[in-house]
Structure 1
Amino acid sequence: MPPSLPARLGRYEVVGHLATGGMAEIFLCKLHGPSGFERPVVVKRILPYLARQKQFVDMFVDEARIISRIRHPNVVQVQELAQDDGELLLVLEYLEGESVASLMRRAKLTGISIAPALAAHMVSLACTGLHAAHELLADDGTPFGLVHRDVSPQNLFVTFAGEVKVLDFGIAKAKDRESRTEAGQSKGKLEYMSPEQSKGEPLDRRSDVFALGIVLYELVTGKRLFRRGSPMATLDAIHREPVIPPSRTTEGIPPELDRIVLTALARSPDGRFATAAEMARHLQIFARAQEPGALEGERVAALMQQLFSDRRAEKAELLRRVRVGAPVGELPEAEVDGTVELPAVVAPATEIAMTLPLAPTYASAPVSGRSGSLAVAAIAGGAVLAVAGSALYWSTHRAQQIADVDAAPTTATAAATAPQPPEVRVVVDTDPPGCEVLVDGTLRGTSPLQLPLARSTEAVRLVVQKAGFEPYARTFAPNRDEQVMVRLRASPTALPSVARPTAGGPRPSAAPTASATSTVRKWD
């Protein structure tokens, strides 16, 4: 047993390590009972170096409080919130199966398509689980206002018995959480965010309905709906690109399913299903009309056996060893076929420029160990416990989502009286990278760039330019932190000549102007 692996966590014997993320680590454990009875469980423990930081402890406790209130067969069950020598432990049921993300990758790898009726049935079960969460009541009998905020293929789990479970309420929003998210922040996986979530706006249950629509689209087509070459392009796809009906991308999808998918994916929340239960009803009616009399649960179990017979045998042997107390050895990988990439839905080329509020960012611990879930009901896939926010930093080689954490609640009075810093932070991200960034004609650096500007109500002029592309220009008052995301359009003509003194040097007599054909788009 590695020296870093604890022998026990409270009353649970540690079998193996499953994953480590930005906030917590996950272990496969077993509980000893009478007459030699042993039961596998999943134990989630907050990382030791975060255990004394209140905001992380609050998030951890909130997750336990939220999940423990939900009693539904389509939601992972919490068995207890325990303490071990002052450390908080979240104990969850052990599930035998695979994530929907693994299911889609294995289907792609084997060339086995998922029937539309079967996909509709699986998503309908996820809908009913989420509806139970959405309907949760607070202690005073009022609606809890719960929104999952991280519905994705990684957080939906299909058991080998044909059940579907919703996982990972770690960043769920509820009205009486101890931890809070500041206005302008967003949490979740970018490619599965609703338009309002990606802008950090107030959310209700219909945001989760949008994410369910994305999962349904991808499950039935085998294609990634909003995956693009950069975070900025993904945001543009979520907000602007027309959603191509599934039947036009994949043969054999009935138009009745198109209507359900496109309703869930309405950009305005008012155009979506009002509840996840309403979406579930439409999916169930569709599935029964497609295959009358079919036993969907058995068909899901048969599909899982067809796709994962090797994984099922491997995990069955693991459980046998756990139950008889035999040495376990190396645990099976949490996620399979990780190198398999689903194709993206082909989208028209666009040129965009957008501005987002810039949320506070926090350094994230590096992710190590296994990611995803070996029936791990505590984490899933790419999130790996680190919570991705709306503040995106792009290096010249790759895009990286910076993990954010919930901040303490602020009141209107406190916000009004708090002193304002003398500088604001403007993050300029571009596609392509390496663009020159000028403020009032002075070169301040090349993108990606964190730009400190003196806080002011007087307008300044920002220009982003690169040889071979049409420049982008914007005039604004630097009175808040924000992120400017720009995609430049290639130009057949040379970049216009612009004086570019360095910061602190002499300024040109006139500010540069953008090309007349430059396109500037703002949020709707």
Structure 2
Amino acid sequence: MGTYSRLGSYLLASELASDPSGAVHRAVVITGNSFDRHVLVKTFSEELFHAGLNTRLAEAGRVVPLLGGARIFGLGYRIEGGKTPHVAWDYVPGRSLAQLIDKARQEQIPFGVDHALTVIQGVAQGIVQLHAKGVNHGVLSPHSVWVSFEGATQIVDAPYAAIIKSLLAKAPAAKQKLAAYLQMPEAAPLQQDLFALGAVLYELLTFERLPVGGDLEAALDRATLKAAQEDAPLPAEIRAFLGRLLLNRQPFATTEAFNAELERVLYDGEYSPTTFNMAFFMHTLFREENDRDATAMKTEQGDNYIAYTAAGETLRSGATRVEHIDGHEESQASQKNSTLLIGGGLAAVVILGLGYIFFGRPKIDPAMQKQLAELQLLKVQIEQQKSDLDAKAKAEADKTVLLQKQLAETKSVEEKVRIQKQLEEAQQRKQELERQQKLNEQRLAEQRQNEQRLAEQKKAAETKAAALPPPPAPEIPKPQPMQEAPKPAIPTPSPVQAAPSAAAAVLEPARMRSQAPPAYPLRATQLRWEMNVDHFVRLKVFVGEQGQPLKVSVVEGVAGAYGFDEAAIDAANKSTFSPATRDGKPVRGWTSEIVYKFQRRR
């Protein structure tokens, strides 16, 4: 079962994104003790809380109806105040635009002009709709934008953005982090939002934040399409469009004028901004996050949330309120002592009866019970691995369909060659996944057979135990007349003799018998990332009593999502081990640190 943090009506499951004003979490809504649905929950920073956000957040409730249920702003907003104010809305799988920029820049994955225009088109539509309803944003930035794994954009901070802007004077840390998008404080609200939109577009094209307090015209002149990994300057029509947004020359007086110019830039040039291409990019960039989210959400949907209900909270606290009351009469004390005699007799009967139930019957072999539990745990883990592999296989199949469609539609020879290469790599990944799925199915079948065999042995032992005659029933003591309990004599304390120290158990850690070699990560090869140096992954493996790897923990991995850690974990799971021992008997335990080396490739 997962671990959750209670926040108002929600159970926070995982933090998905952080920003200058707080963080966005995936959260669970429960009905009774069962899963109901997932939501996204925005929590706010301590700085904003001290600036007075908790007293102002209710104002967001007046903005939500103005949004009109438009998907561009997110749906189903719910606002909860109190000591930890937060905002929730309908769950959409994705990540923030700020995360997209950071990860694409770090992993050096090209982000083309078409992608930048696709994103800015969605954000611009949201800004236009806000101003049409008389609402100003005020703090638009890449943190404001949520990009779904299907390529759609949402301005998710629209309900509370104006509140955050009004508090920035008391929140210097947040203000400093947003400074690049707030460089027209004296301009009209529309011009402020359009400036921020231009700053976001500049960042999408260059993967650099707009300079603060510098010569913005010189920055535009120097800017190149670094996001697309090109040295070319900004296209003339986009450069002119950014000039009107950022330099306050020929500013757009109305949203209609801005929208008309945006449409001209989008569709009169050589660009083809489509959500389809953006979806493919998101699936490529956030493949691991998407798979991880899907697996976690599936687990969360099946969790039992009894521990997080009102009754469960009481059980978890384990607290029983006991009050001491002074001034009782002596008769009350005497009555209490007399009652203890009767209660003690009844308790003896209950204890004897329970003793027969739990101890009078012949026990099943504890080793067999433990082995069966071990096999059941391992089976659950193998089934989880199967679910993960199936999800990855489906994602690869979806990507292959997208690539095949792109290959059929493109006319560029270079583009066809590039897509064909990606299809070949996808085919290799598919074959590797099929191999892993087959191996996983074999392991699962073996575990089911072992579990069935042990279950039959346990059943036979229980049948044999049930056939044994029960011990004689305990004699029930006759009730005695109520008498006042005599005051107990206080015994003279006697010196306590120290118990003889038990011999220390001899514990030996689990050991690796044969180490499967790790495969060099495909992603690192594709990106040609630091192939001229050796890379090391240090990990430990938790091994079962039968020598099977149950869990792998990375002690020190390779930074970045290049696949080295995953390759080392996969190799560890394919290796063979000897179990840990305690006094010569096999037990579950960790190995010592194991090092996997990925040799340089020249």
TM range (shorter): 0.3 to 0.5
Q: Which has the larger radius of gyration?
A: 2
Q: Compute the TM-score of the two structures, normalised by the length of structure 1.
A: 0.48
Larger fraction in strand: 1
Higher relative contact order (CA 8 A, sep 6+): 1
Q: Compute the TM-score of the two structures, normalised by the length of structure 2.
A: 0.42
